[in-house]
């Protein structure tokens, strides 16, 4: 069984007011439900359908994903450092599985 692996790249420190880049990637097959296996049976749909980023429990970035997104979805976005705290990254999969990572950001 394949287990999706989430990863993020974000700085550990930032200056107050600095805009910093966030890169988020999850290793995931993103089955659309349109393919068939070797026996001709439909492979059930199983995609990451939602990604969100929280900065100190406030959603600062979110996106809904659909079947047209390639395997191993990669997202890149920017945030402004306003205070030290926790960044939480959450990927939601069909069927209710959730994959999450947290990162501590120090603003100086």
Provide the number of structural domains found in the chain.
1
The whole domain housing 32 covers 5-107
Asked if 108 contacts 73 with a C-beta cutoff of 8 angstroms, the reply is no
Q: How many CA atoms lie within 13 A of 22 on its CB side?
A: 26
- The reply to whether the predicted model has a pTM over 0.95 is no
**Predicted local distance difference test score (pLDDT) of residue 99:** 97
Give the whole-angstrom CA distance, residue 13 versus residue 16.
10
Which tens digits make up the pLDDT trace of 56-73?
A: 999 999 999 998 899 999
Does the pLDDT value for residue 1 go beyond 80?
A: no
pLDDT digits (tens, 9 = 90+) for 10-47: 999 999 999 999 999 999 999 999 999 999 999 999 99
CATH number, domain with residue 66 = 2.60.40.10
- Residue 6 in tokens: 């989430």
């Amino acid at each position: 069984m394949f287990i999706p692996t989430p990863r993020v790249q974000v700085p550990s420190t930032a200056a107050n007011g600095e805009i910093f880049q966030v890169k988020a990637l999850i290793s995931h097959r993103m089955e659309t439900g349109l393919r068939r296996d070797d026996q001709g049976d439909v492979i059930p749909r199983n995609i990451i359908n939602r990604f969100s980023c929280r900065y100190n429990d406030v959603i600062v970035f979110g996106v809904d994903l659909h079947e047209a997104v390639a395997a191993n979805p990669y997202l890149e976005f920017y945030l402004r450092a306003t205070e030290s705290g926790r960044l939480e990254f959450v990927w939601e999969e069909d069927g209710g599985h959730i994959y999450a990572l947290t990162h501590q950001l120090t603003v100086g």
